[in-house]
Structure 1
Amino acid sequence: MHEKSGSLIEWLVPLGFILCAGWLTWHLPAFTLDWTPPEDPSQFDKLSALFKRNDVTPNMGGLFGGFADAVDWLALIGVPVFAVVGIATVRRAPMEYESWRAADKLAVFLGRVTMMLIVLLCCVMLYEVFVRYVMSAATLWANELSLWLAGFIFLTAGLYAMQQRSHIRIFLLYDACPRWLQRTFDTISTLLIVMFAFFLVYGGYGEAFDKFYRWETFGTAFDPPIPATIKPMVLLVVSLVAVQAIINLISDWNKEPEIHTAADDIDEEEIARIRAAVGAEGIGDLDVTRGAHQHSKD
């Protein structure tokens, strides 16, 4: 039985996850200073000065004698809580790929998070347009925040696309092969994805860790930690894409052969909804352009 998708909780939980993750990301140097402070005094002073400059709640005081305050700790706890609840409550939408395993729910939940990030990105851009051209008071943060959000959207959308099998594929040779050879192609492509992810993580881990540990910023007036967050995120998402590719291979192993045609681009459910809206007999003599239907005269 198909479970209903699109309930309110499926949108509130990703939004709560984004709010907690955003707060945690902005205040992450507090936990670095508390748990693994830099041994170099100059680096410690630089990081602590950066955190104090960006701290949204500077008057609360840190818990346990450290830098992270109660709100920071709540955000730290909220990220895994919202993630677990979101993974447990996510449901397949009618237009999404039908083959699901429990492991697929992480990618789909991150897909919902990506959708909410797109909404937030649009809100930021619309706000900037309004204050710049209507109020003549442009912000110092909208452009960099848009770049930051767009980077996360690009990465997490790639994971969702892998789970949905919606990445670009050329089927001309694939469809002409028997199923055992198709499985061989699938295995080779999955191995290539895993190898790419391994060498990318192996070669980029050191640089990503240095940027993250130093909390490297963008160097603008807003000065967001784009380098410190996007570089590790690239490695994390590529690793998740490799894991998802393995899950796809296992899920599709016993699938019947498919023949891909131009008809695959037709959404049957959308056509059914259109037919239901206009009636069982279709549009008949109705002019869908709302103009008069002209009959040819003999």
Structure 2
Amino acid sequence: MDDDSGSFLEWVIPFAFVVCAGWATWHTPAFILDFLPPASDSLVQQMGELHHRKDVTPDMPGLFGGYADALDWAALVLVPILLILGARNVRCAGMEYEHWRPIDRFSLFIGRVTMILILSLTCVMLYEVFLRYVFEAPTLWANELTLWIAGYVFLLSGLYAMQQRCHIRIFLLYDAVPRWMQHLFDMISVAFIWFFAFFLIFGSYKQVFYTKFYKWEMFGTAFDPPIPATIQPMILIMVALIAIQAAVNLISDWNLTAEERGGLADIDEQEIEAIKRSVGKV
């Protein structure tokens, strides 16, 4: 596979994906009212008022006689398109896990999206510091926005970490047993991940999707972002994706040789040497 990374598309597509996903997420009440409106008229009115209060383009008419306007629909349609394009164009960087497969493209692209979110988070914090200490005019939205973005960074990076095999692993006993027993350990660990994911989702999906998401619970501050309505469903979604990625890792790493598996334990030394070369120490 081509391991060339850092092309222009690898910056533009994740950035466009973040913009479109953010726009569609912010205007989700419009889609709820159009597709699955609440049964109670009072709840419909309440969510309609919330949508009009938070709508970025309140003067644009809704398409098809609904609440979502042309920009909302464009963002919603572009999200899966950009996801597919991003996954198809993603390239493995030099310090990333080298034994990746085409099925890992989705997780790699999510890693690129996470990097864009970290950059966005930094820009928001710098903007707030500049306004607060230079103009003495702090914003009402920067703190909550950084919390919101940081929550997504934490969740999305979990999937990327699982694909990169950079989560915490203890090799003391694992390396001392034969390969067939290592396979057994791998299967047991994946089974525990699936066990945890299943019961977490089974036990909380009703509260998360019907109470938090469907009623679009807000944060209750001056900026009032929908952090509970978005972060809690994302927890369940990412736990499911991490469980799937764990199974993919199990299959992908099944026939790795001892030398190839040894590269996983030496990743810290490789990173240190790469950093030294980048600063001219080696």
Change (3 A) 1:215 1:264: closer
TM-score by structure 1 length? Answer: 0.89
Q: Does 1:180 align with 2:183?
A: no
- 2:124 maps to 1:121: no
Which residue pairs with 2:109 in the alignment? 109
State the shift of 1:266 in Å: 1.5
CA displacement at 1:263 relative to structure 2: 5.0
- Per the alignment, residue 287 of structure 1 pairs with none
Deviation digits for residues 66-89 of structure 1, max 9, x if unmatched? 100000000011101110100000
Determine the C-alpha separation between the residues in 2 that align with 1:268 and 1:140. 40
Q: Which has the larger radius of gyration?
A: 1
Superposition pairs of residues 271-290 of structure 1, within 5 angstroms: 271=274, 274=277
Q: Cα gap change, 1:138/1:277 in structure 2, threshold over 3 Å: closer, same or farther?
A: closer
Equivalence for 1:267 = 270
C-alpha separation in 2, matches of 1:173 and 1:222: 50
Compared CA separation, residues 250 and 229, structure 1 to 2 (3 A): same
For residues 157-236 of structure 1, the aligned pairs below 5 Å read 157-209=157-209, 210-236=211-237
- TM-aligned CA deviation for residue 274 of structure 1: 2.8
Cα deviation, residue 220, structure 1: 0.5
Aligned to 1:239: 240
- Gaps of at least 5 residues in structure 2 are none
Cα 1:277/1:132, change in 2 over 3 Å: closer
Deviation at 1:164, TM superposition (A): 0.2
> Is the 8 Å Cα contact of residues 171 and 260 (structure 1) preserved in structure 2?
no
The alpha-carbon deviation at position 264 of structure 1 amounts to 4.3
Partner residue, 2:255: 254
Structure 1 unaligned regions, length at least 5: 283-298
Does structure 2 retain, via aligned residues, the 8 Å contact 1:13–1:82? yes
Count of equivalent residues: 279
* Larger relative helix fraction: 2
Overall identity of the aligned pairs, in %: 58
Which residue identity is paired with 2:26? W
- CA distance change for structure 1 residues 260 and 102 in 2, over 3 Å: closer, same or farther? closer
AA in 1 matched with 2:190: T
1:196-246 per-residue CA deviation (whole Å, 9 max, x = no partner) reads 111111011001112100000000010000000001000000000000000
TM score, norm. by length of structure 2: 0.94
Relative distance call for 1:112 and 1:276 in structure 2 (3 A) is closer
Q: Measure, in 2, the Cα distance between the counterparts of 1:133 and 1:60.
A: 37
Alignment of structure 1 residues 19-168 onto 2, 5 Å: 19-168=19-168
Q: Distance in 1 between matches of 2:246 and 2:29?
A: 33
Letter matched to residue 38 of structure 1: P
